[in-house]
Structure 1
Amino acid sequence: MKLLVDSGSTKADWIAIDTNGKVLFTTQSLGLNPEVLTKEEIISRLDDKFDISHNKDKAAHLFFYGAGCGTDRMKNFLTGVFQEYFKNAAVAVFEDTYAAVFATTPKNEQAIVCILGTGSNCSYFDGHVLHQKVQSLGYIAMDDCSGNRFGRHLLRGYYFNKMPADLAVKFEKEFDVEPDAVKENLYKKPNPNAYLATYAKFLIKHKNTEFCQKYIREELVAFVENYIMQYENCKEVPVHFVGSIAFYLKEELEVVLNEYGIKIGNVLRRPIDGLIEFHVANS
């Protein structure tokens, strides 16, 4: 049995397949970002899902693609945790961009591949190897056009009294925006980046308002200029996207890319389904 995992900071999609690619089970756990979780927290999240804990000794291979796995230190840490938990499995840990690449880019083709979800990322795939020009410093300093970035904008807009009154009423009904609750989630509870990203659904729901359009455009432009345009050939190869932000803001994304003469490629909400075909073909 092979376990294929695509993990962001908020959630992780799991698919178990046999050697022929037949799906044995699918499940979803909380995200497993090693940058923000301890070993004990990761194991607790694995134990919390019956399908994972019940089948952990049956797995022969684990292919994990995850946010926070961009450095050797984090890859090695997570590999050690998984090898201890999945005792019979050969473990391979990749940064989440590789899942996006394998799901969106035909074999041996060149493309720029972006992730716009809870966090954000952008890499160039030359058909064989992934190249990254911007080393992420995490959600506080970077993550342009991500869910957590939009959450930050919405909270600031609300607290600085710049959110229109009608939107503010809806915002208050949908979220607990009491100062103590917000500060507890931001500064005391784990995964503040995922907490901020929960507000992004409000922005998407009200994306046609002038207030939300302003932030959407600002962040899209920032992502294009700070990430995509790092690559000199960005106008010569397709630019693929995965993630809920890219998926639900596809029209707005395409407008901005067209303004820069950049060709939009495939846009997927989540790459996990595309990974099945890849791993069957490369078993």
Structure 2
Amino acid sequence: MILIADSGGSKTDWRVIHRGGRISQYRGVGFNPYYMTSEEMALQMRNDFLVGLSNEIEEVYFYGAGCSSPERQEEVKEAISSLFPTAKIQVDHDLSAAAKATCGHLPGIACILGTGSNSCDYDGEKIVSTRPAPGYILGDEGGGGYVGKKFLQDFIYDEMPEKIRKMAIERFHITQHIIQDHVYRQPFPSRYMASFCRFITENKSDPYCYGLFYNAFQDFFDRHVSKYENYTSKPVNFVGSIAYYNSDILRKAALDRGIHVNIILESPIAGLTLYHQELL
């Protein structure tokens, strides 16, 4: 049996291709080797779904955020090996997942807009160019953590519409001190900041909330898409919840820049599953 995983900052989608072609699925927490040790990742993986498969999995294909370097890939591989010691394990970057799921065997630009953000230029077979992805403090333009951070900054400085501020207090019971405690003292601050994006999406008919996404997407185009050669003549594809649930704003922001947005998927896992099924 084959186990496939697509992991972002907030969640991991798991798929199992059973003998005979049946597919089962599970959604768990996200993993990022930049912010978690192998031991922490291994502990999080020990849930009922995966533990029950520990003696049956023959191959594992893990695509994850933060898995671009050999060192980080090895850390994730070590965590997976603790649960599937006899399996063949391959760890790859989440950009590879985005490219395979959206571009297939055709050239294009593949982008991720989830909790964080990233992008690559894909020639139909391999990634030929990428942009720096310095994480939620220095980068992640257009991602949920980036949008949420701006929202929380505006809340603290009282620079958002009073109506939105009151709604946020009523829903989240937040104060400046609660926000700072979560961001500076609690684990996974990017995940916390991104958690406000559902609220912002629900209220995107308000010009302020619409503008948070629109401006963040423009920042993403500035730092990522516009840096690729011939970017206006290539299809630009997206995966990730921020892109998917705000696709109307994303397409408008792209149109204003002369960028052709093609496919937008919430998750690449279905495309990855098909990709690996075809290799069987």
In the superposition, the TM-score normalised over structure 2's length comes to 0.96
Q: How many angstroms apart in 2 are the aligned matches of 1:133 and 1:30? A: 26
Q: Which residue of 2 aligns with 1:247?
A: 244
Identity %: 29
Query: Which of these residues, 129, 134, 138, is aligned with residue 132 of structure 1?
Result: 129
Q: Which residue of 2 aligns with 1:122?
A: 119
Report how far residue 220 of structure 1 moved: 1.2
Deviations 1:152-201 (A, max 9, x none): 01111111111211111110122141334322321222211111110111
**Equivalent residue letter for 2:3:** L
Q: Which residue of 2 aligns with 1:196?
A: 193
Query: Which of these residues, 208, 233, 236, is aligned with residue 205 of structure 2?
Result: 208
Structure 2: stretches of 5+ with no match in the other structure? none
Q: How many angstroms apart in 2 are the aligned matches of 1:184 and 1:160? A: 16
Q: Which residue of 1 aligns with 2:140?
A: 143
Q: How many angstroms apart in 2 are the aligned matches of 1:40 and 1:80? A: 9
Q: How many angstroms apart in 2 are the aligned matches of 1:53 and 1:176? A: 37
* Alpha-carbon contact 2:37-2:75 (below 8 Å) kept: no
Q: Which residue of 2 aligns with 1:92?
A: 90
Q: How many angstroms apart in 2 are the aligned matches of 1:235 and 1:20? A: 43
**Equivalent residue letter for 2:16:** A
Q: Which residue of 2 aligns with 1:270?
A: 267
Report how far residue 121 of structure 1 moved: 0.5
Report how far residue 214 of structure 1 moved: 2.2
Q: Which residue of 2 aligns with 1:21?
A: 21
Structure 1: stretches of 5+ with no match in the other structure? none
Q: What does 1:73-112 align with in structure 2 at a 5 Å threshold?
A: 73-107=71-105, 109-112=106-109
Give the 4+ runs in structure 1 shifted more than 6 A.
none
Deviations 1:121-176 (A, max 9, x none): 01010111113332211110000010001110111111111121111111012214
Report how far residue 256 of structure 1 moved: 1.7
Q: What does 1:167-206 align with in structure 2 at a 5 Å threshold?
A: 167-206=164-203
Q: How many angstroms apart in 1 are the aligned matches of 2:21 and 2:119? A: 29
Q: Which residue of 1 aligns with 2:3?
A: 3
Deviations 1:35-89 (A, max 9, x none): 1112222122111x20111212211011001111122211111112212321121
Q: Which residue of 1 aligns with 2:53?
A: 55
Q: How many angstroms apart in 1 are the aligned matches of 2:179 and 2:37? A: 23
**Equivalent residue letter for 1:175:** F
**Equivalent residue letter for 2:178:** A
* Alpha-carbon contact 2:108-2:235 (below 8 Å) kept: yes
* Alpha-carbon contact 1:61-1:90 (below 8 Å) kept: yes
Deviations 1:226-272 (A, max 9, x none): 10011112112100000011111111111121222221111001111
Q: Which residue of 2 aligns with 1:223?
A: 220
Q: How many angstroms apart in 2 are the aligned matches of 1:131 and 1:190? A: 34
Report how far residue 19 of structure 1 moved: 4.6
Report how far residue 20 of structure 1 moved: 4.7
Q: How many angstroms apart in 2 are the aligned matches of 1:124 and 1:82? A: 29
In the superposition, the TM-score normalised over structure 1's length comes to 0.95
RMSD after superposition: 1.3
**3-state SS, counterpart of residue 26 of structure 2:** strand
* Alpha-carbon contact 2:117-2:140 (below 8 Å) kept: yes
**Equivalent residue letter for 1:42:** M
**3-state SS, counterpart of residue 140 of structure 1:** helix
Aligned residue pairs, count? 280
Q: Does 1:37 align with 2:15?
A: no
**3-state SS, counterpart of residue 73 of structure 1:** helix
